[in-house]
Amino acid sequence: MPNTQPSGNITKRETSLSNSQLRSTDKGDARFVIGCAHREVNNRNPSLDTSKRREPSEQLQHLFEQGQIFEAKVFAELEQLHKVSSLRKQDDDIEGATMRAMERGDRIIIGPTLPTINHRSGRPDILIRFGEEKMSNGKWAYIPVDVKNSKPLEGNADEKWSVSPLDAPWLENRKRIDIGLGSPKPEHSLQLAHYWMMLLDLDYAPDIAPVGGIIDKDMNLTWRGLDDGEQSPLKTIDREWKKRWNAIVAMRDDLDACTRPVYRPECRDCVWHDICETELVRERHVSLLSGVTVTHVGKMEEGGITTTPQLAALDPRSAIAANKWGLTPSLGELFEVATEDPSIELSMLPKMSDKRLDKLEAIGIETTADLLSYDQATLAVPTYKLLADNIDAARVDMHAGKYPFYPRGQSAPVIPRADIEIDFDVENDDVVYLFGAYITRKQPDGSYDKGEYISFHFFDRDDPKEEGRQLAAFWAWLHQQFDDAATNGKTVNVYCYSGKIAELPRMREASMRNADVSGVPTPEEINELGVAAHWVDLYEISKPLLWPTRRTGLKDVAKLAGFSWDASDAGGGNSIVWYQTACGVIPGDAAGMQQKLLTYNEDDVKATLALRNWLADGVAGNGWTLESVETLSN
């Protein structure tokens, strides 16, 4: 928990919504401020009432069901360990029962519903009492806790977090421990912040730095601060709450729209996907381009750029110069001054100094004419580092080809090769159940053999040590390849795709879970593999390239290399459903699904092989040529 002391706690006056334009029935739940604002406007737009919505995918439905199963498991554990007030099975007046439990000071309240206040509604999974005495207002204090069937952290941050065990789930019992790499998931923190605001407005929030907790699939109760800095969860929900209601009011009053569709990863699971995507494709919106983020879209809109043709027409040279300048006044503002008086000397421009003149010269601007040679439309876009890359992505899209390009100012990438090549991929759910490898060997004529798929896997969840044994077996096999190659004077490379966020962290977690199993590598040994010269992350090579695809995942780019998966519904999300069937957790053809997972993993490693061979051909000009994006003009 980053903050343990009060740090400018948000007060009711600062956060409570008071807007006479809102209807008495208007309310937003904990998801209201998370993700897409346009979704919330659509949810309340009567003109879309009869529009067809996208049905939840099988994967999404399965995740929802698994989340409910996990919640029940956590609730049952708490009920066994403590005297709790469980409102899960109460049919009516849950809100009243919640308030009565809080008035009594019940220590753990499961399945509460808080009264709607200031247009906020909320149903935290759990409320946990804070302290042994009532507050000065005569009420007991409560902290919101949610249950999430997922890992508590994401990313690579390396720090300890405050955790309480389920047998003593009180904030006062927290200890800072290592629970893995990463930081709390922002959407979880925003939900907790929403519940905190409700408790604050209801006068049930403790007088401490705002905090909430998540019980994750490792059965840890991890606490996180909610008011740490300008981008804290509490300040974020306050800003978003006001923006979104203003947008909804504008929609109702037929005013200029405050939101619009912008494509982002979460769109794929949204009920409004088809409606929004149709509009975006029709106008060729910039958010459909690979590498363009929501933040980038906002910057472009400030400069009047919303479509791919508009973006492609901008000048990368001007964008690069503006980014290198990076001072106030911006290069665009200096351009405007020079436009009004082309005879002005550079030294007479606003805030100019000898040091700034030197910087202009370093960029290539020695005269006013040099400055005016840049593109005004490009300079009108607020400066950000990746604008030139976004322009190039738009040009690749306009080119409508089937090949990627390498970035301007760079050379074609090197695709490392070895005598023995191992393509590697893991499949995981709550455990890593499959370590898959495809090994190919260089022949005397320089070609490679057909290759062989090797897997270390299990589908029987009854033995908690089997994950460790399979990891140990894979590790021993891998290092045997290293040893044999060294003995024979051969080189070995291990290839993965996005190993920093997949293979390496998943293996580290499996290592920590199975430290007592013989042959299991330590997390440090796994880290050493990830920085070794023979470890090649193909994603790090392919990501900088400019692809004619929306995304740069393996499933997207390997198709350009001519590779196709055996399963038409292949995907990491669907594999979760397959695994549950393969293990007998959900009904179905377990044996058939086990084979499907093995085939899917084999296809994944073969796809990595196909992609790197194809890229190597492009670099060598064998069949196609990987060119610089600088060969594309507007």
Domains of the chain: 12-238 (no CATH), 265-406 (no CATH), 420-631 (3.30.420)
Report how far residue 230's alpha carbon sits from residue 339's, in angstroms, rounded to the nearest whole number.
38
Where is 452: in which H helix or E strand?
strand 452-457
Report how far residue 111's alpha carbon sits from residue 126's, in angstroms, rounded to the nearest whole number.
6
**pLDDT of res. 634:** 67
Coil, strand, or helix at residue 519? coil
Report how far residue 3's alpha carbon sits from residue 234's, in angstroms, rounded to the nearest whole number.
13
Query: The tokens of 530 are what?
Result: 């990830």
Report how far residue 63's alpha carbon sits from residue 61's, in angstroms, rounded to the nearest whole number.
5
CA distance readout (Å), 410 to 83, 291, 548, 551, 623: 64, 18, 19, 22, 22
Report how far residue 601's alpha carbon sits from residue 598's, in angstroms, rounded to the nearest whole number.
5
Report how far residue 69's alpha carbon sits from residue 481's, in angstroms, rounded to the nearest whole number.
42
Please calculate the CA angle 75-77-81 and round it to the nearest 5 degrees.
115
Q: Determine the number of helices (DSSP H) and then strands (DSSP E) in the chain.
A: 22, 19
Nearest to 379 by CA among 344, 329, 343, 341: 329
Coil, strand, or helix at residue 352? coil
Query: The tokens of 221 are what?
Result: 């109760």
Query: The tokens of 274 are what?
Result: 């088809």
**pLDDT of res. 20:** 59
Residue where the block lists tokens 């690749």: 396
CA atoms 584, 590, 594, 596: torsion sign: negative
Amino acid in the structure at residue 37: A
Residue where the block lists tokens 């919101």: 144
Residue where the block lists tokens 């995942």: 553
Report how far residue 339's alpha carbon sits from residue 299's, in angstroms, rounded to the nearest whole number.
23
Please calculate the CA angle 617-623-627 and round it to the nearest 5 degrees.
65
CB within 8 Å of 361: residues ≥ 6 apart? none
What is the rounded (10 degree) CA torsion for 202, 208, 210, 212?
Answer: -90
Nearest to 378 by CA among 310, 307, 454: 310
Query: The tokens of 615 are what?
Result: 């890229």
**pLDDT of res. 14:** 35
CB of 605 closer than 8 Å to CB of 474: no
CB of 561 closer than 8 Å to CB of 610: yes
Report how far residue 363's alpha carbon sits from residue 36's, in angstroms, rounded to the nearest whole number.
39
581: left (phi over 0), alpha (psi -120 to 50) or beta: alpha
Whether a cis peptide bond, with omega within 30° of 0, leads into 46 is no
Coil, strand, or helix at residue 495? strand
For residue 510, count CB atoms less than 10 angstroms from its CB and return exposed for 0-12, middle for 13-18, buried for 19 or more: buried
**pLDDT of res. 135:** 98
Residue where the block lists tokens 């096999």: 477
CA atoms 404, 409, 412, 413: torsion sign: negative
Report how far residue 424's alpha carbon sits from residue 414's, in angstroms, rounded to the nearest whole number.
19
Beta bridge partners of 108: 128
Q: How many CB atoms lie within 10 A of CB 551?
A: 12
Q: How many CB atoms lie within 10 A of CB 515?
A: 12
Coil, strand, or helix at residue 428? strand
For residue 471, count CB atoms less than 10 angstroms from its CB and return exposed for 0-12, middle for 13-18, buried for 19 or more: buried
Beta bridge partners of 28: 120
Please calculate the CA angle 112-116-117 and round it to the nearest 5 degrees.
125
Report how far residue 629's alpha carbon sits from residue 634's, in angstroms, rounded to the nearest whole number.
11
Nearest to 276 by CA among 261, 289, 293: 261
- To the nearest 5 percent, what fractions of the chain are helix, strand and coil? 45, 15, 45
Residues of the chain with pLDDT under 70: 1-20, 572, 634
Report how far residue 111's alpha carbon sits from residue 145's, in angstroms, rounded to the nearest whole number.
11
Report how far residue 166's alpha carbon sits from residue 628's, in angstroms, rounded to the nearest whole number.
56
